[in-house]
Amino acid sequence: MAGVTRRTAIITGAGAGIGRAIAQTLSRAGYDIGIFDLDRSGAEETAALVRREGRLVEAAYGNVASRQEVEAGAAQLIEALGHVDLLVNNAGILRTSRFLETSEEEWRKVFSVNLDGAFNFCQTVLPHMVKRQSGVVVNMASWTGKKGVPNHAAYSASKFAIIGLTQVLAGEMAEHGIRVNAVCPGIIVDTRMREEAEALNRAQGLPDVETRVKTIPLRRAGQPDDIAGVVAFLASDAAAYMTGQAINVTGGLWMN
C-alpha cells in the first residue's frame, strides 16, 4: 500500500467488543472506517466513537452469513470509503456444548457466521484489492483453532478452518500484493461473546473466567485493546513481510 496516504478499513462485527476496539485503534492510526454489523445500535455507537477521532466512517447493517447482505453492505461501504486497504473479518459467535449434545442447527449456525462470513466478505472484497494490487486481510481465529478444546466442537472446528483459509488466501493473494494473516485471541473479557460464553459455562458447570485465568502465565484475561493492537500491527507496513501467519494473543495460555 505504498504511496497511499489515506487508508481505509472494513471491519465486521464492529458494533462492540473486539471489533469496536479495532475500529477505534485504526481510526487513531489514521484509517477511515467501514463498519458491518447485525446490531444497528452498536454499530452506530462505534461510528460515533470513530467520528470523535476525526475520521470518515460509514456503517452498513446485515448478517455476514448472508451473501446478499454482505454484497449490498460491502458495496455501500466501498462507495463511501472510495477503496479498501484492509478487511478485518472479526464477526463471530461462540456456542459451547459437549459434542454428542451439539445439535446440527447449532453446528451450522456457528459455521455460517464464523467461516461462511469470512468466505463471503473475502470473495466480495478481495476482487477490489486485486484490482488495486494491494491490500491486507486479517481474519479473527482463536487459540482454540490450534488446540481442540472440550465442549467447543463447533467453535474450535470453525476456527481451525479460519486458519486454513488464511493460509490458502495468503498463498493465492501474494502475487497481487495482498497479505493475509490471522489473530488467535485467548480469553478476552468485556465482550458480548465472553458474556454469552460465561452464561453457557455456568449452565453447563464449566470453569468461569476467574478460575481459568489462574492457568494463564500472565495471570490476567485479555482486553479488546490487546487484540486491536496486534491487528493494527498486521495492517501496518511494519508487518510488510508477514503473510499466512496465525498470531497468538493469549497471555501465554497457548504458545504454538
SS3 readout for 137-194: EEEECCHHHCCCCCCEHHHHHHHHHHHHHHHHHHHHHHHHCEEEEEEEECCECCCHHH
Q: Which amino acid is it at 246?
A: A
Residues in contact with 175: Cβ distance below 8 Å, sequence separation at least 6, in sequence order:
none
Q: Answer yes or no: is pLDDT of 2 > 90.
A: no
Q: For the segment 18-49, what is each residue's pLDDT rounded down to a tens digit?
A: 999 999 999 999 999 999 999 999 999 999 99
Whether 215 is in a domain gets the answer no
Lowest mean pLDDT among 26-40, 155-169, 175-189, 199-213: 199-213
Question: Domain for residue 237, yes or no?
Answer: yes
Tell me which residue of 128, 50, 139 sits closest to 82, measured CA to CA: 128
In the sheet that holds 246-249, the strands lie side by side as 57-61, 31-37, 7-12, 86-89, 135-140, 178-185, 246-249
Whether 45 is in a domain gets the answer yes
Q: Residue 48 is part of a domain; what is its CATH number?
A: 3.40.50.720
Q: Which residues of 196-205 are buried (b: 16+ CB within 10 A; e: fewer)?
A: ebeeebeeee
In a domain, 68, yes or no: yes
The answer to whether residue 250 sits within a structural domain is no
Give catalytic status of residue 241 as yes or no: no
Q: Are 35 and 241 in contact (CB under 8 A)?
A: no
Say how many C-beta atoms besides its own lie within 10 A of residue 85's C-beta. Answer: 20
Is pLDDT of 210 > 90?
no
CA angle 122, 238, 161 (to 5 degrees): 30
* 196 belongs to a structural domain: no
- Tell whether 69 is covered by a domain: yes
pLDDT at 4: 39
Domains identified in the chain, total number: 1
Q: Domain range holding 154?
A: 7-191+223-245
CB neighbour list of residue 176: distance below 8 Å, 6 or more residues apart: 129, 130, 133, 134, 135
pLDDT at 190: 78
- Does some domain include residue 15? yes
Pick the catalytic residue: 31, 61, 155, 241? Answer: 155
Mean pLDDT in residue range 52-70: 98
pLDDT band at 3 (very low <50, low <70, confident <90, very high): very low
Determine the Cα–Cα distance for residues 94 and 163; give it in Å rounded to an integer. Answer: 17
